[in-house]
A and B are shown apart, each in its own frame.
Chain A
Amino acid sequence: MRPSAPTPGTQPWFPLDERPACCVPKPFIDVEQLSLHYGQKPAFHNVTLSINQGCITALAGPSGCGKTSFLTSLNRLTDLIPGCRLSGRIHLDGLNVLDSHTDVIHLRRRVGMIFQKPNPFPLSIRKNLEFPLREHGLRDREQIAITIETGLRDVGLWDEVKDRLNSPALALSGGQQQRLCMARALMLSPEVLLMDEPCSALDPLSSGVVEDLIVGLRGRYTVLIVTHNLAQARRIADYAALFWIQNGAGQLIEAGTAKQIFEAPREPLTTAYVSGMRG
């Protein structure tokens, strides 16, 4: 195996030392011994992980190791999948997420999600944003218009779409669609934002735009982002965690500050992964 840590100074875009000073190292989501099964098949096993408030935590690992499944268990989207079983504990700011009495609608309002494939509804741009707002009780037309404009400005989409709010969202480019989805999620003022490889379906330019937006979320939202792109994880993450498939199920191999994971990994698998030898 090669020496693990990258030579200092070779990556000038790598200001890991400044992180995670930008965020409060205060656990917001506590996951304990979480396991998930699809029918009899385990997706991941015994994951224990704390996610800090206001920080960006990156999840990495090879395909099929349960990253998406892990994200969807945090907002209980797993409820929608027949035969999907969760065991273990998730606490979100004191709320017992997996309790059957937990109001999932309220939970999902607090925990927004962005999917790998941009998925605006087959409606107009305006309706895409207005529909969830109305459902969450915002009725005032003027208020809705203001919220929509602010939401679109926040993701840098306003100038691009302000003249065609009534045209179909599906006619936007992939990057625009993904930013629309971000606006749609952020407008509901969630506390946590789960992002499942938000840039992997985008071209490099749009990917860069979305990445900058994510960086801008630091401090305001607790962000958990799955990414295959290690360079991206290095650029944006405060914390990082590595998943791997072992004994037929995803496992959490190592978690820590981004600096530690990328510069001084403890586990041999992490060492190999961050040096680009595996995964």
Chain B
Amino acid sequence: MVKTMARNLDGRELLALALVWSAATLVTATFCWLFGDILWHGLSHISWTFLTAPPRNAGREGGIGPILVSTALILGVCLSVSVPIGVGTAILLAEFTTDASLFGRLTRRSLDVLSGVPSIVFGLFGNAFFCKTLGLGFSILSGGLTLACMVLPILIRSTEEGFRAVPTGYRLSAAALGLSRTTTLVHLLFPAAVPGLLVGLVLGVGRAIAETAALIFTSGYVDRMPESLLDSGRALSIHIFDLSMNVPGGDPNAYASTLVLVVLLLAINGTASWLAERWLHQRIVTV
């Protein structure tokens, strides 16, 4: 195929074509190799017992039950704090400030800076503020709150985009019908902005669930089943990090845990796009 095309091309075009092809091949190959490697080494270790049993012998044996629970709790804390704050701020930014206003400019600039901050910095901040100043110690709560700070910028910006993408015509026609701002927001703008919110959620959760640096200093290493939000809990990504870096002979379970993480990420992505689709369908097409 490439050869037959190449006959009519001069040298420069041929070079460009080769570059493009090799770049594409490289990217795809890297992904396939990565995923294949994880599947190859990890799949044979996955079992119901692996998913539910506690780790033994520093994680070389046993499973990841308590680690999945801790991960879910950390995510839960993160989302239940970041979603309300995120949506509130997004509404404020999109509906009640103009691009030119000082408040809007300041908030947006801060968010842009925040979203570029390396996660280790969030980890140190979380450790200083949540663990020490607020006295929450190494706990699921500290970890979740730190993650919330980390995902807020992404969540806010994409929800805000969601609101801004709603045509101005809806706002004008709603106002012209004498509908109040709140009603318009709740019944028209919010439903229309939900897809944006979901995109933000996927990006945010994706970042949170894969996070290691921010959690090492906040939710800690303890791999026991947590009994409350104030217990330390080990997140999946930290477990993988620990098994592969600190535990000789931990590779098989590290692979299996990585496979679980990757599948979780794909599942979250899939669910969110399915939800967005369904939501649009329900609101717009059939109701």
Contacts and interface: CB of A to CB of B under 8 A. Distances in A.
A115 B173 contact: yes
A146 B133 CA distance: 63
Interface residues of B, number: 23
A184 B177 CA distance: 8
A123 B287 contact: yes
A13 B287 CA distance: 44
Interface string B181-213: 001000110001000000000000000000000
Contact of B169 (A79, A117, A135): A117
B178 A115 contact: no
B196 to A, nearest CB: 15
A105 B98 CA distance: 22
A122 B176 contact: no
Interface in A94-137: 105-109, 112-113, 115, 117, 119, 121-124, 127, 131-132, 135-136
Given A77-B172, A121-B173, A168 B178 contact: no
Contact of A82 (B98, B179, B187, B284): B98
Contact of A168 (B180, B187, B284): B284
Nearest to A123: B287
A241 interface: no
A221 to B, nearest CB: 15
A230 to B, nearest CB: 26
Nearest to A171: B285
Interface residues of A, number: 33
Contacts of A77: 172, 175-176
Contacts of A79: 175
Nearest to B280: A122
A260 to B, nearest CB: 31
Contacts of A240: none
Interface string B83-103: 000000000000000101000
B284 A119 contact: no
A135 B173 contact: no
A105 B173 contact: no
A121 B170 contact: yes
Contacts of B285: 168
B286 A166 contact: yes
Contacts of B192: 122
Interface in A145-203: 166-168, 170, 181, 184-185, 188
A113 B176 contact: yes
A205 interface: no
A80 interface: yes
Contacts of B176: 75, 77, 108, 112-113, 115, 185
Interface string B260-287: 0000000000000000000000011111
Contacts of B41: none
Contact of A109 (B169, B171, B178, B284): B178
A132 B179 contact: yes
Interface in B49-65: none
A77 B283 CA distance: 27
B187 A131 contact: yes
Contact of B183 (A83, A123, A135, A166): A135
Given A83-B98, A167-B286, 15 more contacts: A77-B172, A80-B172, A105-B180, A106-B178, A112-B177, A113-B176, A117-B169, A119-B170, A119-B172, A121-B174, A122-B192, A131-B187, A135-B179, A135-B183, A188-B177
17 contacts: A80-B175, A82-B100, A83-B98, A105-B179, A108-B175, A108-B176, A108-B177, A113-B173, A119-B169, A121-B173, A122-B283, A123-B283, A124-B287, A168-B284, A185-B176, A185-B177, A188-B177
Q: Which 5 A/B pairs are nearest by Cβ-Cβ distance?
A: A108-B178, A113-B176, A109-B178, A82-B98, A119-B169
